[in-house]
Amino acid sequence: MPLLTAFCVALLGFSHNANALALTIGDFHELGWVANGWPSGDPDRLTYVNHLIGMALGTKGKADGQSYTHTTLLAHCRRAAWDGHVSGTGAGGLYTYLFAKYDGPNYGSEVWYVGNPSGIITIPSTAGGVDLSGWTLFRGECGPVPDGGTTVMLLGAALGALGIARRYIMS
């Protein structure tokens, strides 16, 4: 019995680390990079994250006065949501994207997919030799992607073909 108790205590002792998420620059959680990312108020950050989500995988582009680089990580939600965002030094709840700003206008901003973490998220305190100046967690608007009209077009084409086939078969 003492051996079983020691085993359970050892497992419980390490369980707090099982949910921890340690992010690094360029890791497999990285959604993309915004070169300079300034201004960097929360509404600006939301714009930057949503632009990255909308980019094709592995591409670079310019918009909103920024230069964006999207990694090959597929965004799991179609957009980040303003509702429920949190900035600062502590957060609780379920979040999908983490925006980290490094040294005001002098470096850039990193965006990671964090996938509703249930533990502590650790982010780099420096990037490119400059310090972290702030961060924001955003919830993702996840759900079915709306149909672009292709289904309706295919249904119309199929019904039209059936109507033509019926005309020739019946005559």
Q: Would you give the DSSP letter of residue 164?
A: H
Tell me the whole-structure pTM to 2 decimals: 0.69
pLDDT digits (tens, 9 = 90+) for 61-84: 999 999 999 999 887 788 888 766
Tokens of 74: 């597929």
Residue 7 lies in a domain: no
Alpha-carbon Rg of the chain, whole angstroms?
23
Question: Does residue 144 register a pLDDT over 80?
Answer: no
Residue 51 has pLDDT above 50, yes or no: yes
Contact criterion met (CB below 8 Å) for 167 and 118: no
pLDDT mean across residues, the chain: 78
Question: Does residue 124 contact residue 132 with C-beta atoms inside 8 Å?
Answer: yes
Which of residues 93 and 47 earns the better pLDDT score? Answer: 47
Tokens of 43: 């509404």
At 80 the pLDDT is 86
Residue 68 lies in a domain: yes
Domain around 23:
19-140
Q: Is residue 11 one of the residues assigned to a domain? A: no
Residue 82 included in any domain: yes
Start-end of H helices in the chain: 2-18, 42-54, 150-170
Total structural domains in the chain? 1
Judge whether residue 111 has pLDDT over 50. yes
Give me the pLDDT at residue 47, please: 94
Domain contains 30:
yes
* 77 within some domain: yes
State how far the Cα of 13 lies from the Cα of 18, in Å rounded to an integer.
10
- CA-CA distance, 48 to 63, in Å (whole number)? 9
Instruction: Please tell me the number of Cα atoms within 13 Å of 86 on its side-chain side.
Output: 11
> Is 5 inside a domain boundary?
no
Residue 8 resides in a domain: no
